[in-house]
């Protein structure tokens, strides 16, 4: 059974604040758009307002104090790198999982996206220097364990910064894995609101399955939800 996981923890100074409602809405979107056996899991430091039907796992302290190499205003997601460890299957109780960001709107059937057989797939067409975007990634546990094992909290952020790769965990993933990994693109119906939709007035492409709101606009913001019917209809 596929495990669909998300993370929610408090990062002081970051522009967005996530709460239990965002977790519940993501679970609802997954349930409506993935008609196959799965379990939805939230890894979090605060279970408040998260629906009791959602299994919550306490987040670990690994790299909890490590900040983004780009400054306090940028997200630091190094804690998520533990997903790449060989032991992660024991934490989630399964061998196959997909990880989603909370600032996401699912608009279509995710079956073609998540029923792929590669041992690792990640979103990847949002930045020329950052090969992969951590907003969605799917793997068989331990498939790329060296991403976790080689990470050094002092040297690794310096290496990615020198290489001019944007992000925290996604920068390290791009740096370590390099080009050639299986990835989702616009051809799969995977879109970025900031890079693909916003410049066209925010209209939804007909082939869209999922839209990620990495950047300064979240789907629950007025600029998004208040202006576009497709967000109102799906982010619920």
Residue matched to tokens 């002092």: 154
pLDDT band at 198 (very low <50, low <70, confident <90, very high): confident
pLDDT band at 127 (very low <50, low <70, confident <90, very high): confident
pLDDT at 94: 97
66 Cα distance to chain centroid: 19
Which of 14-23, 52-61, 135-144, 211-220 has the least mean pLDDT?
A: 14-23
The pLDDT of 110-126, averaged and rounded, is: 96
DSSP collapsed to 3 states, 168-189: CHHHHHHHHHCCCCEEECHHHC
Average pLDDT, the chain: 94
Q: How far apart are CA 233 and CA 213, in angstroms?
A: 16
pLDDT band at 153 (very low <50, low <70, confident <90, very high): very high
The domains found in the chain, sorted by start residue, are 2-102+118-183 (3.90.550.10)
Q: How far apart are CA 168 and CA 179, in angstroms?
A: 18
Q: How far is CA 24 from CA 158, 197, 234, in A?
A: 36, 25, 13
Q: Are 57 and 42 in contact (CB under 8 A)?
A: yes
Percentage of the chain exceeding pLDDT 70: 97
Structure confidence by residue, pLDDT tens digits, 57-76: 999 999 988 988 887 777 78
Q: How far apart are CA 53 and CA 169, in angstroms?
A: 29
Global pTM reads 0.94
């Amino acid at each position: 059974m596929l495990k669909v996981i998300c993370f929610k923890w408090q990062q002081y100074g970051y522009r967005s604040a996530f709460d239990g409602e965002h977790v519940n809405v993501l679970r609802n979107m997954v349930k409506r758009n993935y008609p196959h056996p799965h379990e939805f899991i939230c890894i979090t430091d605060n279970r408040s307002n998260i629906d009791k039907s959602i299994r919550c796992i306490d987040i670990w302290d690994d790299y909890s104090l490590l900040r983004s190499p780009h400054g306090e205003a940028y997200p630091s997601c190094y804690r998520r790198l533990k997903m790449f460890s060989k032991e992660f299957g024991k934490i989630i109780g399964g061998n196959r999982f997909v990880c989603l960001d909370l600032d996401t709107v699912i608009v279509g059937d995710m079956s073609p996206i998540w029923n792929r057989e590669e041992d690792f797939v990640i979103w990847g067409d949002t930045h020329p220097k950052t090969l992969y975007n951590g907003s969605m990634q799917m793997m068989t546990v331990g498939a790329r364990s060296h991403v976790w094992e080689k990470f050094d909290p002092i040297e690794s952020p310096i290496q990615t910064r020198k290489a001019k790769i944007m992000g925290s965990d996604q920068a390290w993933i791009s740096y370590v894995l390099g080009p050639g990994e299986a990835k989702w693109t616009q051809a799969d119906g995977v879109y970025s609101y900031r890079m693909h939709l916003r410049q066209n007035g925010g209209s939804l492409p007909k082939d869209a399955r999922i839209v990620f709101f990495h950047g300064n606009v979240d789907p629950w913001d007025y600029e998004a939800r208040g202006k576009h019917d497709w967000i109102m209809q799906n982010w619920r």
